[in-house]
Amino acid sequence: MLKNIFLLLFIFSWGFSKAQINNTLKTELQKSLSESEKKLLMEADRHYRNQEYMFSLNLYDSLAKAHPDNLYLKYLLGTCECYDAFYFAKAEENIKAAEPIRNKLPDYDFYLGKVYENNDKYADAIKQFELYLTNNLPDTIKGIVNRQIEICKNSADQIAKGTIATITNIGPPINTAASEYAPVLPGNESFMVFAYRGPKSKGGKQLLPGKASDKGEYFEDVFISQKKDSTKWGEPKSISPLINTTGNDAPLYLSHDGQSLYIFRNVALGSGDIFVSYLKGTEWSAPEKMKGINSNYWEGSICFSPDEKFVYFSSERPNGLGGRDIWFAQRLPDGSYGSVKNLGPTINTPFDEDAPFITADGKTMFFSSTGHNSTGGYDIFRSDFKNGKWGTPYNIGRPINTNQDDKYYWASADGQRGYYSSERKGGYGLQDIYLVTPSIFGKPSALVVLSGIVYFDDKPVEAEIRIKSKHGRKDFLGTFSSNSATGEYLLNIPSGNEFELKYTYKGMSVVENISTVTLDSFATLRADANLYSEDFIKNTKIDTIQTKADIGTLNYNEFLAKYGDLTADSITFKVQVGAYRLIDNFDFTKLLQLPPVRRQIYDDGITRFTLGEYKTLKQADVMCKQAKKIAIKDAFVIALYKNKRIPFEELIKGNYFKRQ
């Protein structure tokens, strides 16, 4: 899943990393080393040639401490320190200390420029890169150095633009001295799934999956943390033994309702593919390989449009514009995805593009790129969807982006919070997860987040929830499910349309309608769905407490005063706001600030439209007064027993009530 941009930058055909190991300086150094130190130097040089800079760093550091006056060791140590933000300040000190022997180090000016860039000294970095260009360099290297100069100019420009957001390291227990990155969350932000690479990784250090070795590395695992409150997270743990293997496993995307988790998996030496796992009650299923997306090449990031008609993913497959590109595919009638196409030159560049994320309203894409006007490593960019296409992306700037890798942006539906991972200086580990406020700059998302619980015979169930738009010009259609253990569901509903939601379980359905035609801001609504079998209605017995009042002698206000706070099993109250034979005559737009409207056809053929569902008359009365004030002057409260209307008189005569 990961690919460090530095490794891409310095894999030169003429052996750039090898050129740093000067044989003359090495021979002079070896004269002062013991036999054990010579072996240490040999191992450090081997890692360095293989561009395994973090392995060679510790070895060179050990030698440099034993021989503090050797400038060649300081230089090698400093070049290794360029690859870890924790050492940037020290890297500049060590490389500058080697200035007396710079004539023996052909790439000294490049590395000094790079360490200046790492420490935000962009004017100094540009001067150093330009000095390096005066050497006789291959055209390939000149292109890379000129790109570094461009990055420095981009960085200086972003700093001049000022702060656009606040970022906060979310800290322990999620962030540790290991690497934590790629955060994904459900729409209600109740938990976070993220990638972990460190001592807790399954299999420990390995040379290959299943081959443990102290000289190996930790592989990626998927971890999860439950949210405790607005700022604190619970102790992370491995998400599931069915998901984590001894190979690389990392989260890519979590559906808005938190029921589908897409992961990257590479259990051997293959390219790596995208899998999906489903939440069954409280357990995650064994991951299944996605159909229609994976190829013989690397695929490592994925996201969906809100209605899941389109999937966006990153791939290294041929016929792209660079190493990694963002591609998209359309959902086919069988539920798979096909007709894969490159997203094109507006988004993709000759460099790498990765980690796409589509906001809940479908109008904005965030992605990471080493191209465009990147400020170094991967930067996060934004593109807005207008007139049927993705617009020219722009760098979202400081303080979010740095000259290190900044990736895996996730934004809340209301645009107020975001999470992403960065290798910036001052973190707990190589990569940390950060909170961004706000996450979407400018006009907030215009959509409704609808949540609730589906009940069947008063028990939560896994029901089918089908949503469809009424205006074909803005077609929106999708089928979702509530959680089998809790009955909970979570849906994003875009603005500018009217929608029908149908809840179905065991052949029984209830329909609800909602309008977002005039919506221009973010809103949250809740709607529970109650379905009852005929046997349940027939056989359920209700425990009651005898009341002394006679409903026949009371008007509505008196009844409200005496019984407004009483409850009864299977009794609910709703606010009726309309009754029509032709449902098109009902105007939903008047009720945008109120709970979603539910409709039901009665035996007389008339469709009644109601708001909310309440346990007490007093609760319903509050909503009724609000409806009258905002929109419907003749709104009134109705009572229902097991979803069937019942006269108020029967509430007393039938002795239904009991005290709370």
pLDDT band with cut points at 50, 70 and 90 for residue 632: confident
Q: Name the burial class of residue 230, with classes exposed (0-12), middle (13-18) and buried (19+) by CB atoms within 10 angstroms of its CB.
A: exposed
CATH superfamily of 5-161: Tetratricopeptide repeat domain (1.25.40.10)
pLDDT for position 576: 84
Q: Convert the pLDDT of each residue in 397-439 to its tens digit.
A: 989 999 889 999 999 988 889 999 999 988 998 899 999 999 9
Greater model confidence, 257 or 552: 257
Distance (Å, whole) CA 111 – CA 531 = 68
Give CA–CA dist 599/570, Å, rounded.
19
Chosen CATH of 446-538 out of 2.60.40.10, 2.40.33.20, 3.40.50.720, 3.40.50.740: 2.60.40.10
State the pLDDT at residue 22: 82
- Give the orientation angle of helix 71-81 with respect to helix 23-30, to 10 degrees: 120
Q: Is the pLDDT of residue 294 over 60?
A: yes
CA angle 74/79/85 to nearest 5° reads 115
Stretch among 75-89, 106-120, 464-478 having the lowest mean pLDDT: 464-478
**Distance separating alpha carbons of residues 299 and 12, to the nearest angstrom:** 24
| Confidence at residue 10, expressed as pLDDT on a 0 to 100 scale | 41
Tell me which amino acid residue 430 is: L
Q: Which of 165-169, 529-533, 570-574, 599-603 has the highest mean pLDDT?
A: 165-169
Q: Residues of CATH 2.120.10.30 domain(s) within the chain?
A: 166-437
3-class DSSP state of 585: helix
DSSP classification of residue 86: G
The confidence score (pLDDT) of residue 270 equals 54
Please compute Rg for the chain using Cα positions.
31
Distance of alpha carbon 285 from alpha carbon 117, whole angstroms: 46
| C-alpha dist (Å) from residue 163 to 263, 332, 396, 437 | 33, 43, 10, 11
Residues 6 or more apart from 390 whose CB is under 8 A from it? 343, 346, 347, 365, 383, 384
The pLDDT of residue 12 is 38
Lowest mean pLDDT among 83-92, 336-345, 347-356, 488-497: 488-497
pLDDT at 49: 87
Nearest partner of 408 among 372, 358, 354, judged by Cα: 354
**Bigger pLDDT: 16 vs 504:** 504
* pLDDT at residue 551 in the model: 34
Per-chain mean pLDDT for the chain: 85
Residues 351-356 have a mean pLDDT of 96
pLDDT attached to residue 234? 96
Place of tokens 């209830």: 510
Q: What is the mean pLDDT of residues 66-72?
A: 95
- pLDDT-derived band at 638 (thresholds 50, 70, 90) equals confident
Q: 369 near 352, Cβ under 8 Å?
A: yes
Distance CA 257, CA 32 (A): 64
d(CA 653, CA 275): 59
For residue 390, give both structure tokens: 């993705």
- Distance between CA atoms of residues 619 and 336, nearest Å: 45
**How far is 368 from 402, CA to CA, in rounded Å?**
12
Give me the mean pLDDT over the 237-253 stretch: 96
Residues 6+ apart with CB under 8 A from 392: 346, 383
- Structure confidence at residue 436 (pLDDT): 95
In angstroms, the first-to-last Cα distance of the chain is: 55
Q: Which residue has the tokens 């977002």?
A: 516
Q: Does 438 sit behind a cis peptide bond, omega within 30 degrees of 0 on the bond before it?
A: yes
171, amino acid identity: G
Most confident range, picked from 56-65, 207-216, 491-500? 56-65
Strands (E), 273-405: 273-280, 283-284, 288-289, 299-304, 310-315, 325-331, 337-342, 353-358, 364-369, 379-386, 389-390, 394-395
Q: What homologous superfamily does CATH list for 166-437?
A: TolB, C-terminal domain (2.120.10.30)
CATH 3.30.70.1070-classified regions of the chain: 541-660
Q: What is the pLDDT of residue 444?
A: 61
Question: Between vectors from CA 203 to CA 1 and to CA 4, what angle results, nearest 5°?
Answer: 25
CA distance 519 to 441: 19
On the question of pLDDT at 2 being above 50, the answer is: no
Residue range 183-198: mean pLDDT, rounded: 96
Q: Higher model confidence: residue 173 or residue 10?
A: 173
Q: Which residue has the tokens 């690389």?
A: 248
Return the percentage of the chain with pLDDT > 90, whole number. 53
**Cβ proximity of 181 and 161 under 8 Å:** no
Write out the residue limits of the CATH 1.25.40.10 domain(s) in the chain.
Answer: 5-161
Which whole number is the average pLDDT over 484-503?
87
CB neighbour list of residue 615: distance below 8 Å, 6 or more residues apart: 567, 571, 572, 573
Mean pLDDT lowest among 187-201, 331-345, 390-404, 538-552? 538-552
Topology (CATH) of 541-660:
Alpha-Beta Plaits (3.30.70)
Q: Which two tokens stand for residue 413?
A: 């539906």
Please indicate whether residue 598 or residue 468 has the higher confidence score (pLDDT): 468
